[in-house]
Amino acid sequence: MNADADKRFLVAEIQRFCMRDGPGVRTTVFLKGCPLRCAWCHNPEMRGPGKQLLFYEKKCIYCASCELCKNGVHGFEGGRHVLDRTKCSACGYCVSVCPTGALEICGKEMTAREITAEVMRDAAFYGEKGGVTLSGGEPLLRKKSVSLLKTLKEAGLNTAVETCGFVDFGNISGAAKYVDLFLWDIKDTDPARHEKYTGVSNERIIANLKAADRLGAKTRLRCILVNGVNTDAAHYAAVAALLKSLENCEGVDVLPYHSYGGAKAEFIGLPDNGNDALIPSEEQIKEAKSVMTK
């Protein structure tokens, strides 16, 4: 195993037996931190780069065990559990004393070696196509992710990376030799609209995608469909044109918006921003697929 196998990463979650994060059966490793702020973010608890306290209000029995927190994060007012997250150091003490699992720390430090060992527990289920997928957050936000991919590859694993593409290209080019497939998010093809809804323009994302394609990196486009935002013919045609311009892209996945991420926002103290009105209709999904996947 390589010398970088002891580099540490902040893992938000490891999901097993995933069927939509690349080919075959996969284990998906979610890393903390993301450069985008998508209005429809499905994993808001993974955006921040550090550890975060999650609070599941429905599990709380108001026993007040967590009031022993040395930082004074927890209080009970008017029959409600109130958290002052500005005081939280994510030390995990409150989690250790909570009897119902209403509190959890999102973000666990793990070495590349430890992550690989955890992923290898599922190796018997991968078959010919399955393997490990790095997701997030944005797994290529930091250069050291290359060392994690190298460690996973040296273990004989098929590797995929789900990326928003808004990272230093050096991270992408460094990772490319250890990645079997990039799952590349194309959230919108309109630069101004992309910036309005994600906080950044898409120009760097598209430029990185084309540069990766010139390197020979295998990609698959992943296009989230959000009703009233990017459900228009011009966007569909632009995705189709982008696909046609790439020599090493194997296709497009159309992913309809869902509102589940809104409830997850509440776990980190943000308002539920889930909006069922943004869910595309079956007709919109069918139309998008008919154009994008030709």
Per-residue HEC secondary structure of 22-46 comes to CCCCEEEEEECCCCCCCCCCCCHHH
Contact 138, 100 (CB under 8 A): no
CATH number for the domain running over 52-106 = 3.30.70.20
| Phi, psi (deg, nearest 5) at residue 6 | -100, 5
152: helix, coil or strand? helix
Whole-number Å distance between alpha carbons of 228 and 281: 11
CATH topology of domain 3-49+107-292: TIM Barrel (3.20.20)
Q: Which residues contact 269 (CB under 8 A, 6 or more apart)?
A: 55, 83, 85
Q: What is the CA radius of gyration of the chain?
A: 20
pLDDT in tens, 198-218: 999 999 999 999 999 999 999
User: Residue 125 corresponds to which tokens in the numbers above?
Assistant: 């289920």
Whole-number Å distance between alpha carbons of 268 and 223: 26
pLDDT of residue 2: 59
* Number of residues assigned to the chain: 294
Contact 6, 111 (CB under 8 A): yes
Domain coordinates in residue numbering, the chain: 3-49+107-292, 52-106
Contact 130, 26 (CB under 8 A): yes
pLDDT of residue 4: 75
Q: Report mean pLDDT in 10-residue bins for the chain, 294 residues.
A: 79 96 97 95 92 96 95 94 96 97 97 97 96 97 95 97 98 97 98 97 98 98 97 97 97 93 90 92 97 86
pLDDT of residue 261: 81
Whole-number Å distance between alpha carbons of 13 and 133: 12
pLDDT of residue 5: 81
Distance of CA 138 to the CA centre of its chain: 6
